[in-house]
Amino acid sequence: MPSRITPVSPSPEPLAAGPSETEAGGLLTLDLAALQENWRRLGQQALPVECAAVVKADGYGCGIEQVGTALVRAGCKTFFVADLSEARRLRPQVQDAAIYVLDGALPGSGPAFAEVNARPVISSLVELAEWDRFIAGSKWHGSAALHVDTGINRLGMSVDEVLALTPRLQKENHGFTLLMSHLACAETPEHPLNQKQIGLFREIRVQFRGVPASLANSSGIFLGDGAHCDLIRPGVALYGVNPTPGKPNPMLPVVGLQARIIQVRPVAKGETVGYGGAWTAKRAARVAIVAVGYADGYPRAASSTDDIAGGEAIVAAKNCPIAGRISMDLMAIDVTDLAEGEARRGEYATLIGGDIGVDDVARFSGTIGYEVLTRLGRRYHRVYRGA
């Protein structure tokens, strides 16, 4: 990691979206300057390779329009989305940047690709034949990526199918602007499948000279030069999730989440809190009820019971445990150890922020940071800072 990072000057007036702060139960803050800095840091890991950005799933829950605008300002020229509807939302924000649609072209979608000026990632010979028919019959000179499966067994053509297309490269307008594959185990650097996939993709890439190639996702960037090829395509790391599990996180935090305290109530020793009576007060307790639940995307799996310690929140600058089952719109936080009056109605409890990151919420919930981010709901008052 380079020792010197160019600071980003924040914009003086943050943008806001969603319901107003007085009408929302939660406040979601998104640091676009940190997002831009993460993109730069990831790019510096693979210089001089181009650094793209994956902004699918509504910019990993952060807002595809705002994320796209910030990354274009940082210098990003290539984006990846999941489907054509995301490409349509993104296009006005990213000017003439390349947009690749990872799910490819559905039957009959060719005219929409032309309208949006997007590029499908082709994953089968049937799909390629449909795409070729559309291109041949239209006046639009669109291009596409070829996706080869090197071992994840998800989307992608077989190695033999892709290699059979190499004679087409002799044509001046062969129509391919990217050759790509996807790593299955990049989060585990020592997994043998990583080197197997890197080696196999290298062999295929040699047959596609002149076509840019892309293999590395967020964690794949940290597997070294062999995975970098011509284009890296980070996703979740842009938004602050650690791409190097088990090591210090090289990314800046992007997302903050606070929940409004709507009541502080006493709970007698021996009484239970929440659905199912799964959490019992072992002493005279106080709980703060906050207006965020699983309908807002906070994982129900972070609930606490008498037998399982769940998630935490920060109230009055102190870490406090969640008490009981998280419900659709509410959760309880045990604030017994705070001084009387430190937890007050109308103030906020921090669910993501401080020493509780997205990865910590994922750990509380037995899931991954990807799921935590992409489930963030639209009921929050959203504040975009820094770009």
Beta bridge partners of 315: 318
Yes or no: say if 194 and 185 are a contact pair by the CB < 8 Å rule. Answer: yes
CA distance 267 to 282: 10
Yes or no: say if 225 and 250 are a contact pair by the CB < 8 Å rule. Answer: no
Q: What is the DSSP string of 83-150?
A: SHHHHHHHGGGSTT-EEEETT-PPTT-HHHHHHHT-EEEE-SHHHHHHHHHHHHHSS----EEEEB-S
Classified as helix, coil or strand, 360 is helix
Yes or no: say if 266 and 288 are a contact pair by the CB < 8 Å rule. Answer: no
Residue of 196, 275, 318, 370 marked catalytic = 275
| Residues contacting 186, CB < 8 A, separation 6+ | 194, 216, 217, 218, 219, 220, 222, 223, 227
Residue of 56, 60, 298, 380 marked catalytic = 56
Which tokens in the block code for residue 89? 């939302």
Helix, strand, coil % (nearest 5) of the chain?
30, 25, 45
CA distance 154 to 157: 10
CA distance 311 to 320: 9
DSSP 157: B
Which tokens in the block code for residue 11? 């914009």
187-203: buried (b, 16+ CB within 10 Å) or exposed (e) per residue? bebeeeebeebbebbee
Yes or no: say if 221 and 227 are a contact pair by the CB < 8 Å rule. Answer: yes
318 is catalytic: no
Yes or no: say if 254 and 30 are a contact pair by the CB < 8 Å rule. Answer: yes
Instruction: Write out the catalytic residue numbers.
Output: 56, 275
